[in-house]
Chains A and B, each alone.
Chain A
Amino acid sequence: MPPSIHPVDLIASLRQKHLTPAIVFLTSRRACDEAMESFDHADIVLPPARQDAIAAALERVIAQYPSVAEHPLIPTVQRIGVAAHHAGHLPSWKIAIEELMRQGCLDAVFATTTLAAGVDFPARTVVITQSSIRKARDFTDLTVGEVQQIAGRAGRRGKDQVGFAVVTPSPYIDLGVLTKGLTGHPESIDSQFAISYAMVLNLLKAHPHEQIQGILAKSFAQFQLNRRAESLERKLDTLHVQMEPFGPRVCTDWITQWQTFDQVRRQRPQRHQVHRQESPELSARFHFMTPGRVVGLTRGRGIVLRQYRSKGQKNPMISVLRPDGAVTECPATTVADIFDRVFDCEETSAFPWCSAAAFDELCYQLTELPTRLPILPILVPKDSEPLSDAIVQSMGDFPCPTCPSRPACQKDFTIAHRLRQEQHRHIKSIQALRASLWHRFQERVEVLQKFGYLSPSSQLTEDGEWARLIRIDHSLLITELIRAEAFTGADPALLTGIMASIAHDDDRPGAFPRISTGLSSLLGQVRKLAESLSPYEDPPLLRADVAALAERWIADPNLTWIGLCRLTTMAEGDIYRLLARTLEFLSQIHTLRATHPGLADSASKAIALIRRGVLEELP
């Protein structure tokens, strides 16, 4: 059996059941293009009347967007009534296909899932061939929300009484993901608040430093962090009640007293042995790897069942329940993420380290976890001090050996200590949750002070005043380049080339062999600076080929769009997006005209030069 249905057969099946018009979602642009090619020799052609209707509709679009006329797919679209629509195409082509679809001229469109969001592009049927999508170089399962967004394109109000979502298998499809997506509730959304340098500068421009914490507190991020903190506070209240029997005895803080005493008792004879040396970070994290905690390991996630220390192991160990029901033992160092999600789970002394019912429940919970989980912010103490010799030597000073409450202390210590540890853990988490945004803000402030955009009293410096106007990705790199006078005397073409290489964040390969020496040496300088800034800001890709391509478009005003496309293997749509994004970056540079008139002038010349051909035709 073929691994998936042939596109021609697929369309034939849909037509036969009157399930057209349909959107067929495919995994990649390439798959869309190949699907179109497979119609080259197909003998299913539309009746002449429909072909004419398509031609007429296309005429109207072409009147507005002439570049559509030259599109190589037009004959197939007209003959068969199917089309492809993906990010590799020019916006004008996509508009044309959307228009044809709206007018009911097409039977099917092969598209990638980028179409699922926002664009008004409905059909009677959607065909789903995949259960995962590529996100940042990795394939991840579709979320419930995404499946519903995709399936939701089926069934047009006013044109259909029912809509159909048809799943057709291809290799690597996981039917479970789709059935769960179709029948489930969409996931909750979580804040993705991030503090950028531009945000810090703009906040400090408008508000005194001491008001900023209050502003950050208004974010959805803080709203959600507060919720988490509140639920911990409720747990803390419960712990408080549980701690009541363990209040002050002969000593007020008998727990610490007993602990130290006990430790000294044990430590004294072996004082000179080598101690296990754990990094403070590991200790801080290990603290949170308690039974029921969801953790991320290098391969997948799991729930901690117990923690222990093993003689043969340098690092503390945990037993982790994995999604398939297996229990694995791993060193705490292999834990990559500690999530802010804990299930009820009472540790027991024998495998599987909790009750059978709890084990089932955890197995079930593990499969139901959402794909994205909040990570627990953990504050690492500066250094954890071992018992000082002075204390060890002073054993004689402990009152414990003769104290009347010694038996009680000895008996209650384990449980009281566990409760108190839990209490401390919660208190620390609450502090971290309440203050983490502010900490992140302060970190940014320190960097900006170090680079001289902010004064030591957090006022905007002269440089800070203009730098705050650069509100795009990689703003630190751009402002540092400007301060290093990297663009002094740079012509519009060179400036465009560099901005393009900073703006472009797609790693799809393209090829463009020739690069001017001026651009090449400037790009080298940019790379070096970006590298040195990498502790403070992720460096952009800085691809030479896109820089060269953008430079050529400006340097040679006679270069046509087709000519430009021939220079590279990048898809038209990608070139268009590259130039449009470069345009946005350049218009940010243009806002610096008050302080950097020469540079702003160069940017505005570049903007004028970029806008020609298809870049002018489009809104």
Chain B
Amino acid sequence: MTTDELEQLLAQQPVAVLHRLARGRVHRHFRAGKRRLIELLLQHSSQNLAGLESDLQTLIAERQPPAQPARSPGRAAGRAPAPPSKQPLPGGGEPGIGEPAVSLAAWLEGLGVPAPQPFVPDPWQNEALRALDDSDVVVSVPTGSGKTYVAVEAARRAMEDNRTVIYTSPLKALSNTKFTEFSRIFGSDKVGILTGDRQENGQAPLLIMTTEILRNLLYDAASGEIDVRLDTLGLVILDESQYLADPERGVVWEETIIFCPSQARLLLLSASIGNPQDIADWLSSIRTTPCRLVRHSKRTVPLRAGYLHPNGKLVPLFKTAAIPHGHPTHLHPEAKRLFIEYEEETLPSGRPRR
């Protein structure tokens, strides 16, 4: 085995193995990180690489039988690849799937405009609307999936029932856009807007506001300065509700939800987040109506990832055309090679590569 191969093999090992190898070889080895440890090991054994290699092989063999250490539960299912100990042998090429990497032509295939199609609501959109009949709803779907359609239809139904609707967004710009959009859909007499610096048509059945304004309304209502219209409030839509986790403003979403009148349905629209079920469980635990979660993580328009080298060369980023979920290391060999080349040329010498 050449020094390079040995170094590669060492790099594939968990740090614990390296520490065991270092015992008696490297002084104060526990102070060193992985990269440094490998350096020190090779340095120490430069005269006896074979010895180092055979010790290493023994350690690897020792670790083999309990094939895959049981992973603690609670880790996400589609998680990162197996730890390197799974492929202890060098020179096996790319880890994982053995298929050849996708070509650029195949990666670009399908690019273009689809044939026009009549609008048919997606199953999740219908599901969310149905669920809203008898429960609060949390929707968590990827960006650009069509949450606005759910908001619009839900608002339409509530308004047909003579109930008022409040739609909130975190950004004034977004509120303004929605005001224009909803006015076009429902007619400008049906839609009003209240933001920190704009008030128009405040008596309309569909009110657009920033979440802070709604929170303030709810506080005023709680302290007796009743805005009578809260009695007829039938639906509150909180768009972009992943803002709940915003360090500065997140608390406003919590206050709004806590004080939202019980007769009004809540519809939370959120981009994909890791724990939407927690949000739904929380809502169920504090409100009189149960809360349903509608989620999916598949993008409607499939996404592909590419790598564009500074010299203008475009290659797929991953081995597969589609994004290999749960396999961040399944890089396209060409992309990998180009990126390493890039780092070597641009990084000041001596700076460790991350």
Binding site for B on A (CB under 8 A): 1-5, 9-10, 12-13, 17-19, 91, 94, 117-120, 122, 124, 127, 145, 148-149, 151-169, 171, 174-176, 179-180, 182-194, 196, 199, 202, 205-207, 215, 218-221, 223-224, 227, 322, 324-328, 343-344, 351-352, 356-357, 359-361, 363-364, 368, 468, 471, 580-581, 583-584, 587, 618-619
Contact = CB atoms under 8 A, between A and B. Distances in A.
Nearest to A586: B197
A171 B346 CA distance: 7
29 contacts: A9-B312, A119-B171, A145-B271, A152-B144, A158-B116, A159-B114, A163-B302, A164-B111, A165-B306, A167-B306, A168-B310, A169-B343, A169-B346, A180-B80, A183-B325, A187-B274, A190-B245, A191-B245, A192-B248, A196-B251, A206-B223, A207-B222, A220-B254, A356-B20, A359-B15, A359-B16, A360-B83, A471-B215, A583-B196
Given A155-B144, A160-B113, A162-B111, A206 B224 contact: yes
B255 interface: yes
Interface string B75-118: 01011100101000000000000000000000010111110110
Given A119-B177, A179-B328, A326-B32, A145 B242 contact: yes
B144 A122 contact: yes
A471 B219 contact: yes
Given A167-B307, A326-B30, A360-B15, A185 B300 contact: no
Interface string B17-53: 1111000000000111111110000000000000000
* Most A C-beta atoms less than 10 A away, residue of B32, B170, B251, B329: B251
A619 B33 contact: no
Nearest to A159: B113
Contacts of B15: 325, 359-360, 363
Contact of A162 (B304, B325, B330, B346): B304
A155 B303 contact: yes
B32 to A, nearest CB: 6
Contact of B342 (A155, A169, A221, A327): A169
B5 to A, nearest CB: 21
A401 to B, nearest CB: 43
Interface stretch (B127-135, B150-158, B228-236, B278-286): B278-286
A368 B18 CA distance: 21
A507 to B, nearest CB: 15
Given A161-B110, A192-B250, A156 B331 contact: no
Given A180-B328, A327-B30, A360-B14, A162 B274 contact: no
Nearest to A125: B306
B246 to A, nearest CB: 6
A189 B274 contact: yes
Given A357-B16, A359-B19, 18 more contacts: A5-B310, A118-B173, A145-B242, A148-B143, A152-B144, A155-B302, A158-B116, A159-B114, A166-B308, A167-B306, A182-B305, A187-B274, A206-B224, A220-B257, A223-B286, A324-B35, A326-B32, A587-B196
Contact of A189 (B36, B239, B275, B301): B275
A142 B251 CA distance: 22
Interface in B221-277: 222-224, 239-240, 242, 244-248, 250-251, 254-255, 257-258, 271-275
Closest 10 CB pairs of A and B: A152-B143, A324-B33, A325-B15, A155-B301, A584-B196, A192-B250, A189-B245, A188-B274, A188-B275, A206-B222
A169 B342 CA distance: 8
Interface of B: 14-20, 30-37, 69, 72, 76, 78-80, 83, 85, 108, 110-114, 116-117, 142-144, 146, 169-174, 176-177, 179, 193, 196-198, 212, 215-216, 219, 222-224, 239-240, 242, 244-248, 250-251, 254-255, 257-258, 271-275, 278-279, 281-282, 285-286, 297, 299-312, 314, 317-318, 323-331, 339, 342-343, 345-346, 354
A364 B146 CA distance: 37
B312 A157 contact: no
A152 B299 contact: yes
B175 to A, nearest CB: 9
Contacts of B245: 189-192
A122 B76 CA distance: 30
